[in-house]
Amino acid sequence: MASKREASQEELFAAVDDLLGEEPPLPPPAERARLREAAGVTQARLAKVLRSTVQTVKNWENGRSEPRPPRLEAYQRLLEGWAAKYPAPGAAASPQAPALPAAAAPPVPTEAAAAPDVQAQTPAPAPVPVSVPAGSPVEVSEEAGAGAGPAPATEAAAAAPARTARKTAARTATRTPARTAAGPAARTGAVPDPRYAAGPLLVLDGDGTAYGVDGLVLECPARTIPQLVAWTLEQPVGAPALNRNGRPADPLVVLTEQAAVKLGLPARLEGHEQRAGLRLEDDHPAVKQITRAKWKLTRRGFGPWARVYRPAKAGTRQCVQFAILSWGALDPRAWPGVADMDAPQIARVLGLYADRVTTPRGSTAVTGLELMTALRPPTKAVRNEETGAWESGHNPGSLGTDPVDCAPPEAPPEHPLAQGWKHGFIDEEVFQWVRDVDLLDGSEVTLPYALGLDVNAAFLAASSRINVGLNAPEHVLRPTFDKKVPGSWLADLSHIELDPRLPSPFTPSGQAPAGPAWYETHTLAYAQELGHNVNPTEAYIRTESGAYLDPWHDRLKAALLATMADLGVHADMEPAALLAAMERLPAQDPALRAVLAAVKATAKGGIGQLRKRATGLSYTPGERWPALERPTWRPDIRAAIISKARVNMHRKMLKMASAGHFPLAVLSDCVVYPAPTRNPLDLLPYTTSGKPLPGALRLGVAPGLVKLEGVQTMDWAVDLMDQGVNIARIIKGDGHDAALDAGE
């Protein structure tokens, strides 16, 4: 029998470490709060010292969450120091820190004294006059649905028995009026709104646990959809309006598959002709429960994204929106991997998106469109000079409340205005062009690589400071072209000759126009910029215009840059460091990468929704469809954005050509060039001072700058180009389709 081997010191230390690891690394939550109060330190001061938020400190002290490195070690060290100075009653004082006489003991402020009860002592904000008549239904469209503000929080739902001590503490915390969510207000030091203290959304799991942002955990006693609606409106869930004239965001409840089944919903919806038609039948028990409880559904019914509401009462809106994960509410193309995450992680992803963009209102495309309206509300409260009463009035710079028909040449083929129209249609779409291989010269063919560069958020970049029409089109014959006037112009650009090694900027195919055609203002203005006269014979112009999309662009750009920074890619990086950071991106936090994908999809899809096409196998061309009845159905604005994006791309390619670089292919926002190495820094042109050539393609993380899309061999590129294949579509090498254009 072999003798027993003596354990080494390292093994013993490892075993001891394992044993120590079984013990809680921090004192119980209640003791943490006692020590902080004994030291006379407020939660706000502690949060500032630890570079955290007040809500996070509260979570640590009521057991909803635990600190993580590097704050864990710092917090532990602080608590150990306080424990030596302020031992618990009945415990022996630390010899290193003798107890002070009572007269010399520092004051021990309570949390109430340090932070007065916000809800009880702070007067409620003055009500803003509503922009809709009182009592009017809140249902406005299939896309917009209904809206509501949250009702005041109550303690009714807090009576459910706790499953764990952590959930008990969380439920108790929701009864504290002063608790706040760690949203933008908490981070900036602004006073948070207690009406939305629980954050914008909750993710409900199958065991009745609702997870919110920043580690919030609630017990939900609801067993039916009507009970869940009532319970949700009792919680401080929702988000403030993004514009002073806008409406607060309705609370969102996300249902996991288990939660949906528990509430009487099917795990899957099947048997419909298309995904957009997914909804429960009107005779489904869940729908009948909603009706019996005197709640209503929007016209889209109870589908993957549903809204349950009652008409507003005295300006207070009552609405809860639902997202059912197992019904495909979160499209994996826009929310990669999110549907497979656990409930707390889903709450984290959606909460961060809601903080930086807005509370999801449906698909990212629908949310992108709704964000435009939220940032530029169509109405505002105006005072009637005669009666002194507040009334709903037009908000300057917005699209208004009434739908506006497009001009006939701007209409898609199925539109009623397109039926019988024989004078051509505008064709402002993205580039899909491949250079003729006969136009490749020897120096290009001998280069070893074909390198693809992708413009970051090209359509979002094009929406910046873009002047778009705000009113109905006006038909004009023999107009004088004005690049400051948005509209569609009939002109002949077929006489303009450009270098055949570049695509024509006037057509999506890159081929020269064959005769007169309709163009958006930006395309015609670019022809002027290139030195050519433009003499339109006819136009549909819009006399009222403005930078309607500016706040939309600014918010989405900020969201994109903030999320990229969280992923380790910063706007101020040197080019080499940027390339290295981008290579590491696929290995970064999946939750943050999902937020990034959703932000990009929101920008692209929102633009696509401006010209939402008719859908459904039963649709007959020439009939109107629901999207036409909303003010944001504006194909002219979509055409302006895509025209500007295509012109921007051509302008950069023209500047690259001035440095001797001509593209092999272009698809939407991806362009492929012959390259001497796999490194784009060896391709992109620089001035003699070492700065990037002004106006050319430039590496960066901001919208409008470029990143490396993919690299293949030049032989590979030439062979496929000879077959007519657009190599920009597959340059990434993973089946990626760069032609996913503006949301359609």
Cβ–Cβ contacts within 10 Å for residue 456, how many? 21
User: With contact defined as beta carbons under 8 Å apart, do 378 and 394 qualify?
Assistant: yes
Structure tokens at 630: 């909303």
Q: Give the containing element (helix H, strand E) for 201.
A: strand 201-204
Burial of 637 (0-12, 13-18, 19+ CB in 10 A): buried
CA-nearest of 569, 596, 595 to 581 is: 569
Distance CA 286, CA 261 (A): 11
List the one residue out of 269, 350, 280 whose CA is nearest residue 308.
Answer: 280
Q: DSSP assignment, residue 494?
A: T
Q: Residue 301 is encoded by which pair of tokens?
A: 């019914």
Between strands 305-313 and 296-297, the pairing is antiparallel
Contacts of 140 (CB under 8 A, 6+ apart): 146, 630
**How far are the Cα atoms of 25, 46, 56, 558, 567 from residue 51, in angstroms, in the given order?**
20, 8, 10, 22, 19
- List of E strands, 525-680: 538-541, 545-546, 665-667, 670-675
In this structure, the number of other CB atoms found within 10 A of the CB of residue 140 comes to: 17
Architecture of domain 16-116 in this structure: Orthogonal Bundle (1.10)
Q: Are the CB atoms for 585 and 709 separated by under 8 Å?
A: no
Q: Which residues contact 84 (CB under 8 A, 6 or more apart)?
A: 94, 96, 97
Indicate the SS3 state at residue 308: strand
Give me the pLDDT at residue 10, please.
63
CA–CA distance, 253 with 258 (Å, rounded to integer): 14
Quote the pLDDT of residue 485: 97
Structural domain spans, the chain:
16-116, 156-362
Instruction: Give me the DSSP letters along 326-392.
Output: GGT-S-TTTSTTGGGS-HHHHHHHHHHHHHHT----SSHHHHHHHHHHHHS-SEEEEE-TTT--EEE
Distance CA 364, CA 596 (A): 12
Sign of CA dihedral 552, 555, 556, 561: positive
Interhelix angle 550-566/364-375, nearest 10 degrees = 130
pTM for the full model? 0.76
Judged by phi (left if over 0) then psi (alpha if -120 to 50, else beta), residue 665 lies in beta
Tokens 């943050």 belong to: 592
Strands 316-324 and 252-255: parallel
Per DSSP, what are the bridge partners of residue 313?
A: 316
| Residue where the block lists tokens 């992708």 | 454
**CA-closest candidate to residue 37, choices 106, 103, 90, 95:** 106
* Alpha carbon separation from 320 to 45, 296, 530 (Å, rounded): 36, 11, 53
Are 558 and 548 within 8 A, CB to CB?
Answer: no
Could you tell me which residues come within 8 angstroms of residue 548 by beta carbon, excluding any fewer than 6 positions away?
372, 376, 397, 398, 399, 468, 470, 637
**DSSP for 667-722?**
ETTEEEEEESSS-GGGTS-B-TTSSBPTTS--B-SSTTSEEEEEEEEHHHHHHHHH
Q: How far apart are alpha carbons 239 and 247 in whole angstroms?
A: 9
**Helix or strand (DSSP H, E) at 83:** helix 71-85
CA-CA distance, 145 to 306, in Å (whole number)?
Answer: 9
Angstrom CA distances, 60 to 52, 179, 391, stand at 11, 13, 47
Burial annotation 19-32 (CB, 10 A radius, 16+ → b, else e): eeeeeeebbebeeb
Sheet holding 487-492, edge to edge: 474-477, 538-541, 487-492, 516-520
Maximum C-alpha span of the chain = 107
Given the structure tokens 């504006």, which residue do they identify? 634
* 618 exposure class (CB count in 10 Å sphere: 0-12, 13-18, 19+): exposed
How far CA 441 is from CA of 444, 651, 660, in Å, comes to 6, 22, 12
Taking the alpha carbons at both ends of the chain, their separation in whole angstroms is 75
Q: Which residues fall within 8 angstroms of residue 586, CB to CB, at 6 or more apart?
A: 593
Report the distance separating Cα 437 and Cα 587, nearest Å: 38
438 by Cβ neighbours in 10 Å (0-12 / 13-18 / 19+) ranks as exposed
Q: Is 403 left (phi over 0), alpha (psi -120 to 50) or beta?
A: beta
Q: Which residues contact 435 (CB under 8 A, 6 or more apart)?
A: 501, 662, 663, 664, 665, 721
pLDDT mean values, one per 10 residues, the chain (744 residues): 56 57 70 89 87 82 79 86 83 41 34 33 36 34 39 37 39 35 41 84 96 94 96 94 93 97 92 62 94 93 95 82 96 95 97 97 96 96 88 92 95 95 96 96 95 97 97 96 97 95 97 96 97 96 96 97 97 95 96 98 97 90 94 98 98 97 97 97 93 95 96 96 96 57 42
Angle at 557 between CA 551 and CA 560, to 5 degrees: 145
The count of other CB atoms within 10 Å of the CB of residue 669 is 29
